[in-house]
Amino acid sequence: MKEILAIIRNERAEPTKDAIDSIGVKGVTFVNVTGRGRQGGTIRTPNPEGTLRREVSIHLLHQRGLIDNPEDPRYHVPVEKEFELGFLPKKMLMIVADDDQVPMIVHTITQINRSGHQGDGRIFVCPIIDAIRIRTGERGHKALR
Amino acid sequence: MKLIRAIIRPESTQRVIQALEENGIYAMTRMSVTGRGKEMGITQGTVRYSEMPKEMLMIVLPDDAVSKAVIVIEITARTGTTKFSTGNVGDGKIFVTDVDESYSIRTGEKQ
Domain ranges of chain A: 2-38+86-144, 43-83
Class of domain A2-38+86-144 (CATH, top level): alpha beta
User: How many other C-beta atoms can be found within 10 angstroms of the C-beta atom of residue A99?
Assistant: 12
Q: Domain residue spans in chain B?
A: 2-38+51-98
What is the pLDDT at residue A78?
Answer: 60
Distance to chain A for B47, nearest Cα, Å: 30
- Is some CB atom of chain B closer than 8 A to the CB atom of A36? yes
The kind and range of the H/E element at A105 are: helix A102-113
Backbone angles phi, psi at A142, to 5 degrees: -60, -35
CB B103 within 8 A of CB B111: yes
According to DSSP, residue A77 is labeled: P
- CA distance linking residue A25 with residue B97, whole number of Å: 24
What is the pLDDT at residue A82?
Answer: 65
What is the pLDDT at residue A70?
Answer: 72
- Which segments of chain B have a pLDDT < 70? 81-83
- Is some CB atom of chain B closer than 8 A to the CB atom of A126? yes
Bridging pattern class, strands A88-97 and B52-61: unpaired
User: How many other C-beta atoms can be found within 10 angstroms of the C-beta atom of residue A3?
Assistant: 19
What is the pLDDT at residue A77?
Answer: 61
- Which segments of chain A have a pLDDT < 50? 52
Cβ distance of A34 and B106 shorter than 8 Å = no
* Nearest Cβ partner for A40 among B21, B58, B106: B21
Interface probe for A, chosen from B25, B103, B105, B109 (most Cβ of A below 10 Å), is B105
Q: Mean of the per-residue pLDDT values for chain B?
A: 89
What is the pLDDT at residue B38?
Answer: 81
From chain A, the residues in CB contact with B100 under 8 A are: 2, 125-127
- CA distance linking residue A101 with residue A79, whole number of Å: 47
The model's pLDDT over A51-61, given as tens digits with 9 standing for 90+, comes to 545 556 777 77
What is the pLDDT at residue B48?
Answer: 84
CATH code linked to domain B2-38+51-98: 3.30.70.120
- Is some CB atom of chain A closer than 8 A to the CB atom of B110? no
The model's pLDDT over A105-125, given as tens digits with 9 standing for 90+, comes to 999 999 999 988 888 899 999
User: How many other C-beta atoms can be found within 10 angstroms of the C-beta atom of residue A133?
Assistant: 13
Size of interface A-B (CB pairs under 8 A): 79
What is the pLDDT at residue B37?
Answer: 83
